[in-house]
Amino acid sequence: MRRQIESSLFERLLLSKGDANKRTVMELAEQGIDYTKPEDVIKDPYVFEFLGIPEDKPVMESDLEKALVRRIEDFLLELGNGFMFVGTQQRVTVNNVHYYVDMVFYNKLFHAYVLLELKTKKLTPEAAGQINMYLNYYATEVNEPDDNPPIGIILCTDKDDITAEYALGGLSNQIFASRYVLHMPNKEELIAQVEDVISKWHDNM
């Protein structure tokens, strides 16, 4: 709980929902977080300060994955409620060609597999196509009858809304793109963003 407070969890969850409004702020303050759909648990950004990696040090995807596995309990806390770790480099075989999902989790709140791809660069359309194929495979070959459709998360160092909209728009699978940072975000800046969203909501009333 202390880490969640220090990492501005409330502000990050609120901003992750997109165009937050006064009603959303009040509901979060009075009732807490109600997880009713996958996007409710998605954060932007995710904070990996527990890895102790210098912000200016280049990191390979394989090294980031290994670091997250070594600190899997901290990573699960950052992911949020209901996540259970399944494994890394989970094989997907399509037409006798092997591919590997970086990290696989299962979320017991949504009864769904969560496939996570790590990208140590900006979001690209290719990343969306890659994880979309993995989700189709899991839905057909891995899911049990009681499982809901799998969820995909692309973790990248940066993204822009236009690329994300065109890369992820129109896909039947649930795919989310979120940034990750290696150090705690500036809490004052996050709070200012929340206040700005609320102010814009008032202006549009």
The tens digit of pLDDT for each residue in 59-84 reads 899 999 999 999 999 999 999 889 99
pLDDT over threshold 90, residue 169:
no
Least confident of 31-40, 69-78, 142-151, 155-164: 31-40
Assess whether 66 and 104 both reside in one domain. yes
The pLDDT tens digits for 10-36 are 555 555 554 444 455 445 444 445 567
| Residue 151, domain CATH | 3.40.1350.10
Q: Which residue has the higher pLDDT, 161 or 157?
A: 157
Number of CB atoms found within 10 A of residue 52's CB: 9
Assess whether 178 and 194 both reside in one domain. no
Which residue's entry shows tokens 């009075």? Answer: 30
Mean residue pLDDT of the chain comes to 82
146-165 exposure pattern, b = at least 16 Cβ within 10 A, e = fewer: eeebbbbbbbbbebeeebbe
Q: Averaged over 171-198, what is the pLDDT?
A: 76
Q: What is the span of the domain harbouring residue 161?
A: 46-183
Assess whether 122 and 111 both reside in one domain. yes
Q: What's the pLDDT at 203?
A: 60
Confidence of residue 171 (pLDDT cuts 50, 70, 90): confident
CB 50 within 8 A of CB 180: no
Assess whether 10 and 89 both reside in one domain. no
The pLDDT tens digits for 83-117 are 999 999 999 999 999 999 999 999 999 999 999 99
Q: Averaged over 130-147, what is the pLDDT?
A: 96
- What's the CA gap between 82 and 93, in Å, rounded? 28
**E strand or H helix that includes residue 179:** strand 174-181
Looking at the structure of the chain, the number of domains it has is: 2
- What's the CA gap between 117 and 135, in Å, rounded? 11
Confidence of residue 168 (pLDDT cuts 50, 70, 90): confident
Assess whether 88 and 159 both reside in one domain. yes
